Amino acid sequence: MRAIFLVAAVAALAAPASAKDVKESRPEALKRLSDCRSITDQMARLACYDREVAAVDAAEARKDLVVVDREQLRKTRRTLFGLTLPDLSIFGDDSPDDEGMSHIEGRIRRLAQNAYGKWIFELEDGARWIQTDTRALSITPQPGQPIVIRKAAMGSYLANVNKQNAIRMKRAR
């Protein structure tokens, strides 16, 4: 599986417009490793690879370089769905069609209503969502029921609990 290299606290993998942008956005350790391919002498190339792989391993151990595969990236983006984050470009493009992140599906772990009668849902992954409109659900939700939360207009979110009509929600944490 193709791995994505990220430098901690650096916006490293924005969707580049050209191959030149890809090379400029790469961490230095990865550039040096990639440069080993251009060495024609086999022994020198092997020595370069050995040296630079050791440097990449050391950078990863120091947390100067973070290596994430697409599946880890997808899981991370799912847990962050609905949260407002600064645009670091670390998690890829935020378009609705990217990696299927126009919605999430889960199950309700816990639920409550606040003093205003608005629902508060905690999903199995720990995400908390709070109702922002006053729409009533026709059937009282229960733990274990499915919930689908999708992006809506102007940065809002709609949730369908157990296939009922949607209620407007926001991410709490």
Q: Which parts of the chain fold into alpha helices (H)?
A: 19-25, 28-35, 42-61, 70-80
**Alpha carbons 42 and 67: distance in angstroms, whole number:** 27
Q: List where CATH 2.40.50 sits in the chain.
A: 102-171
Residue 133: CB atoms within 10 A of its CB come to 12
pLDDT surpassing 50 at residue 61:
yes
pLDDT, tens only, 149-167:
998 888 889 999 999 999 9
Question: Structure pTM?
Answer: 0.54
Residue 112's pLDDT is 94
Specify the CATH number for 102-171; select among 1.20.120, 2.40.50, 2.60.120, 1.10.287: 2.40.50
Model confidence pLDDT, tens digit, residues 24-39: 577 888 889 999 999 9
Q: Is the pLDDT of residue 22 over 50?
A: no
pLDDT, mean of residues 95-110: 71
For residue 94, is pLDDT > 60?
no
